[in-house]
Structure 1
Amino acid sequence: MELFAAMGQHDYEQVLFCQDKASGLKAIIAIHDTTLGPALGGTRMWTYATEEAAVTDALRLAKGMTYKNAVAGLNLGGGKTVIIGDPKKDKNEAMFRAFGRYIQGLNGRYITAEDVGTTEEDMDIIHQETDYVTGISATYGSSGNPSPATAFGVYQGMKAAAKAAFGSDSLSGRTVAVQGVGNVSFTLCKYLHEEGARLIVTDIHKEAVARAVEAYGAAAVNPDEIMKTDCDIYAPCALGGTINDETLPHLRAKVVAGAANNQLAEPRHGTALHEMGIVYAPDYVINAGGVINIADELNGYNKERAFKQIAKIYDSITRVLEISSLNGIPAYAAADQLAEERIALLRRSRSTFLQNGQHALSRR
């Protein structure tokens, strides 16, 4: 791929390739934008088909973090890491310690956390080499696993989206089809079950499905059937791109609201949702609970304060959908507009400040 062309197209600041032969580390750190503050974004470990696919994922995820942090009101920029490898068999202590040293070398420009394929224990190992890591064990005074926080935020955002679609934010009696039953969505299912929602679940891992069926009375379907089910809300909670040319014709939900990143295969699929009259809760707005939670660590973690802030995702989704409705634009575009306006405002403010400072010096 033409890496500098790809970086220039969406104004990425830095891409760092990290390798450690002894441990097998192959990592890509992408820093998209640090206008609002240091880049914060998790570390994903995945078996990518090609190195180009890994780079593409890192770039997409990093930009998503910039927008997520901006709309969430955090004073943080966006970045992301992907580690190429099988998280079930390729992990070792030396790998994450070597990775921690690379992060330390960035001197605070990038702060990491856990993501798909990495755990709180992995973050603890990284912490042996650097302080620029969040989501570490509570024994270190940290918030620990951010999954419950992400789930709570998705639940709040889903209620806001339901109100826009159905006139009420109550999920009692609503049928929610959950695609992927990992740590985040299992907790999300708990919130939905307690409110009286009917659950339909799927996952490539049968044990994950069985756990949701047993705990919450969920109905199980095969992965290729979840998009075709009759439901009120479709909750994509696995990997991204499930809203695409192939799946859109089969989508029967009135709301799309889930925890996955990059739910739209391409922006035009968000436009298609808008034209179909389907309420879409933009992914990086609704799933910001985890990053809001770990960002609170930077001020000395307080769970009550963090979850109070996470609850405001309800208001963020409401605002995005109001802008979408008033301006007649897709919800993803409304969310992008909010993020870009905040970043542009700070850039202009800094530029004016620097220019005024230069004028003052020239007058001396």
Structure 2
Amino acid sequence: MFALMQSTRVQHLRVIVDPATGLRAVVAIHGERHPQALGGCRYLHYPDDDSAMAEAVRLAEVMSFKAALAGLPVGGAQAVIMRNAYVDNRAALFEAFGRFVETLNGTYVAAIDSGTSTADMDCVALHTRHVTCTAGAGDTSRPTAEGVFAGIRAAALARLGSSDLEGLRVGVQGLGHIGYTLASLLRGAGADLLVSDVDPGRVQLAMDQLDARPVAAERMASTPCDIFAPCGFGAMLNYQSVGQLRCAAVAGCANGQLGDLAVADQLEERGILYAPDYVINAGGLIHAALSHSGEADGQLARYLQGIGQRLTGIFAQAQAQHRSPARVAQEMAERLVYG
């Protein structure tokens, strides 16, 4: 674990166990340039403690990069709560987590992530003010989708010559809260939608409401489209799946889309433009940070527009250097975070 912390430059790893509620949690805090770090709180099952800690450490660095490239004055962090098969009182568990967050004296601000909800953050907020994504702060799905939408327009401009999405075929893989909202925005812009999801009900809803065409999940990667938008769980881009892609660009909201950074080089070799995930999907983090600071109403639109502008700059530099945008984005983030 120390080796992983050193390789990602995570400075702090805090662990809490509360037998009364069954809480077992870890918080990783990355970067020392800002006194406050913000990051999601995951509530998932993990095969062992080391897996949970490793995910917290890895994602804390990603959140730090995401915040830096979005221009936010916060560091990155990640909390992981290990989910048991049964919990007696979920509200009590998250209240216990809130008491733990309070002991960190504002160095960590909690937000929703996989497995958590605004109701959970409301429980956390009963014991600390260092939390966002509560019911009062609003859902992050919409701003995340809006940021990805801006990124898709930037990708279309860079690879297809126009940011106009009218008539473009976009494949949306994953129709969760963010994916479905993104699909709605794309349809509103005149895009021709192809959709897939493990939940047939979500697919049917997209067919009924968005005039989308369904594609079997196992065929989505190989189905021809202009832009492929991965919006499910991460690491779906690997050496095998990239070889099947038949699109001009990949631009979606899923976290950790690349199984390995070298996969981005494979995309570049195939002439497929890649929008780095922690740049294009920063809208949720932006909303959470601005809501916590009380600036969401006046600044959110400007920050979301900046996602497309940042990607345009990354794409231009990548093209000039004949490199993957993922490599360019990582170097930009490392300069901003590490100096």
Q: Aligning the two structures, in what range does the TM-score lie when normalised by the shorter sequence?
A: over 0.9
CA contact (8 A) 1:93 1:125 kept: yes
Q: Extract unaligned runs of 5+ from structure 1.
A: 346-364
SS at match of 1:123: helix
Query: What do residues 161-208 of structure 1 show as CA deviations (whole Å, max 9, x unaligned)?
Result: 111110011111111111111111111011100111111112222222
SS at match of 1:13: strand
Aligned length: 339
Query: Within 5 Å, which residues of 2 pair with 1:26-105?
Result: 26-85=24-83, 92-105=90-103
Match of 1:177 in 2: 171
CA contact (8 A) 1:40 1:79 kept: yes
Query: What do residues 295-350 of structure 1 show as CA deviations (whole Å, max 9, x unaligned)?
Result: 112331442421222111110110111111122221111111221222234xxxxx
Q: Distance in 2 between matches of 1:89 and 1:204?
A: 26
Match of 2:130 in 1: 132
SS at match of 1:230: coil
Match of 1:107 in 2: 105
Percentage of identical aligned residues: 37
Q: Extract unaligned runs of 5+ from structure 2.
A: none
Q: Distance in 2 between matches of 1:51 and 1:210?
A: 39
1:161 aligns with 2:155: yes
Query: Within 5 Å, which residues of 2 pair with 1:11-22?
Result: 11-22=9-20
Question: What is the deviation of 1:247?
Answer: 1.0
Question: What is the deviation of 1:26?
Answer: 2.3
Q: Distance in 1 between matches of 2:43 and 2:131?
A: 16
CA radius of gyration, larger in = 1
CA contact (8 A) 2:31 2:75 kept: yes
Query: What do residues 215-272 of structure 1 show as CA deviations (whole Å, max 9, x unaligned)?
Result: 2111222322211111111111111101112211111111110111111011111111
Q: Distance in 2 between matches of 1:148 and 1:137?
A: 14
1:152 aligns with 2:139: no
Question: What is the deviation of 1:286?
Answer: 0.4
Query: What do residues 119-169 of structure 1 show as CA deviations (whole Å, max 9, x unaligned)?
Result: 11111111001111111122xxx3x11110000000001100111110011
Query: Within 5 Å, which residues of 2 pair with 1:115-130?
Result: 115-130=113-128
Q: Distance in 1 between matches of 2:85 and 2:313?
A: 38
Which one is further off, 153-162 or 14-23?
14-23
Q: Distance in 1 between matches of 2:299 and 2:101?
A: 28
CA contact (8 A) 1:87 1:118 kept: no
Question: What is the deviation of 1:16?
Answer: 1.9
CA contact (8 A) 1:46 1:87 kept: no
SS at match of 2:246: coil
Q: Which amino acid aligns with 2:198?
A: I
Match of 2:270 in 1: 276
TM-score (norm 1): 0.89
Q: Which amino acid aligns with 2:95?
A: R
Match of 1:344 in 2: 338
Query: Within 5 Å, which residues of 2 pair with 1:293-308?
Result: 293-308=287-302
1:7 aligns with 2:5: yes
Match of 1:234 in 2: 228
Match of 1:362 in 2: none
Q: Which amino acid aligns with 1:122?
A: D
TM-score (norm 2): 0.95
Q: Which amino acid aligns with 1:219?
A: R
Match of 1:212 in 2: 206
